[in-house]
Chain A
Amino acid sequence: GAVVSQHPSRVICKSGTSVKIECRSLDFQATTMFWYRQFPKQSLMLMATSNEGSKATYEQGVEKDKFLINHASLTLSTLTVTSAHPEDSSFYICSATGLLSSYEQYFGPGTRLTVT
């Protein structure tokens, strides 16, 4: 089946710094990628939707200047958390849909971000 990877799997950064998370579709071209955020013992919340070559669409309440999303190619999307604060600590999960089946969505394994 289709595989989506995320890198890094875990990252610790200091408050005020920026951190980039990569999401890659390994064996298919991802027309659309999605970013989710999950707080401990809570559900996944959709943050934004990104299509290759265009600006991401953010869900209400998500700061686009803080969570920069770039979808530069059909296999890579990046989420950059800028000027991170401890409250940004969370589990970030990406997913992707492909050209062959737009209803099938493949989730990455997630990235645990801890801001100290």
Chain B
Amino acid sequence: AQSVTQPDIHITVSEGASLELRCNYSYGATPYLFWYVQSPGQGLQLLLKYFSGDTLVQGIKGFEAEFKRSQSSFNLRKPSVHWSDAAEYFCAVENTGNQFYFGTGTSLTVIP
């Protein structure tokens, strides 16, 4: 069965600092992996996705993620965080039935 683990429930970083959000997945086949961001009371916004090919994926808002099959990971990174990045971040894996399974989310706080 597929599952996604986000080990960090909450992360606080200073504005301008670098960020890495961890995501580990369990899936039997080649995974389709996603990162979404959610602001309070809002829907999901896709940051980036990995289907195949280059394991370093560039997304919107300066985010990137690296797929590491050997570690079953798909960590999200940003070199310099902005105050507007404060939100909830979800990692997800999509199975062959197009069903998404989300991690528990990581809440990001950005301090001035």
Contact = CB atoms under 8 A, between A and B. Distances in A.
A44 B102 contact: yes
Contacts of A46: 99-101
8 contacts: A32-B98, A41-B107, A42-B104, A49-B99, A93-B43, A95-B100, A103-B32, A110-B42
Interface string B80-112: 000000000010001001111111110100000
A41 B107 CA distance: 9
Contacts of A78: none
- Can you list the 3 inter-chain pairs with the closest CB atoms, starting with the nearest? A109-B43, A107-B44, A110-B43
Given A107-B44, A112-B41, A97 B102 contact: no
Nearest to A1: B46
A54 interface: no
Contact of A105 (B41, B98, B105): B98
B100 A43 contact: no
A34 interface: yes
B27 interface: no
Interface of B: 32, 36, 41-44, 46, 51, 90, 94, 97-105, 107
A102 B97 CA distance: 9
Contacts of B42: 109-110
B72 to A, nearest CB: 18
B50 to A, nearest CB: 11
A43 B99 CA distance: 15
A55 B58 CA distance: 38
Given A44-B90, A46-B101, A102-B98, 5 more contacts: A34-B100, A36-B100, A97-B98, A103-B51, A105-B100
Contacts of A41: 107
B94 A43 contact: no
Contact of A34 (B36, B41, B44, B98): B98
B24 to A, nearest CB: 15
Given A34-B99, A46-B99, A105 B104 contact: no
B98 A43 contact: no
Nearest to A59: B99
B67 to A, nearest CB: 15
